[in-house]
Structure 1
């Protein structure tokens, strides 16, 4: 690895970490605000601000599971995402790095929130969808960007045997 490549990788990893910390900090600040000041729902149009707590995971699945188990599983997933993001930062793929930054920041924020009292604080309510929070939106947005990045940068199909070289079967005119 050249010094320039090493420097670029370090910069991307710093950006990844800083971005994930910023996402987590913004979400945890919004959760703190919701817990301290959101006494009654605030209608804002398609999304209302309404305080709720989720003892389970996505869509309240696993609500009856022990808190320690949910924390252990989400911590493991968060560590795996962090490792994948750290390795991915070695390549200059901005869309993928942005996506992983959003997923990591959201996952870390929800993990930190759950570790405090066993539940995740939610505050965005649509009326037709389960109540969620900013970390959830960054995780979903990041996952969508990962799909987009994968679709844009598909590896060539290596299962197909290469055909003959162009002109291999051409004959000279007689």
Structure 2
């Protein structure tokens, strides 16, 4: 699946979910899905994960833009057979664009998945984390494979 279709799907899913939250809940509202375990809680995040680097809008826009440009540059260089790496890069790209749209639009990111024991997050965050995880796993696997071939 080309990165662009995957990224567009992620961006649409992310932005539609945020639109629905913004237009159906008041800021700070929390709807229990599983009481005390999982809630839909509408917040606006001025920082990054865990609330770090609050109110650094320009910094986040710059970092996200660099990451998106690098991803767009690197993707065509990834061999077709490296499906997991291509998928991870596509997920990272889509998630980064989803959160970048929020930062450009308002300077804040809409978050709403609330597991009570973890900071509140959104769909773009999920794809960023999973995409980075897939990239790391692929790189680790490739490194182990190369070391194994050298030992043979």
| Contact 2:49 2:119 (C-alpha < 8 Å) held by counterparts | no
Per-residue deviation at 1:85? 2.2
Q: Gaps (5+ residues) in structure 1?
A: 1-11, 164-174
The match for 2:70 is 80
Structure 1 match to 2:137: 148
The residue aligned with 1:124 is 113
> Root-mean-square deviation (CA), in Å?
2.0
Q: Which has the larger radius of gyration?
A: 1
TM-score by length of 2: 0.85
Deviation at 1:127, TM superposition (A): 1.1
**Per-residue CA shift, 1:26-66, capped at 9, x if unaligned?**
0010011110012331111232101011111222211143x
CA distance change for structure 1 residues 91 and 100 in 2, over 3 Å: closer, same or farther?
same
3-state DSSP of counterpart to 1:121: strand
1:125 Cα offset (Å): 0.8
User: Aligned equivalents of 1:50 and 1:36: distance in 2?
Assistant: 13
Q: Which residue of 2 aligns with 1:171?
A: none
How many equivalent residue pairs?
146
CA distance in 1 between counterparts of 2:71 and 2:49 reads 17
Alignment pair present for 1:104 and 2:93: yes
SS in structure 2 opposite 1:42?
strand
| Cα drift, residue 137 of structure 1 | 0.6
- C-alpha spacing 1:119/1:86, structure 2 compared with 1 (3 Å): farther
Please tell me whether the aligned partners of residues 38 and 49 of structure 1 are also in contact (alpha carbons under 8 angstroms).
Answer: no
8 A Cα contact 1:114 1:120, kept in partner: yes
- Cα separation, 2, equivalents of 1:55 and 1:87: 34
The question of whether the paired residues in 2 share the 8 Å contact of 1:16 and 1:97 is answered with yes
Unaligned ranges ≥5, structure 2: none
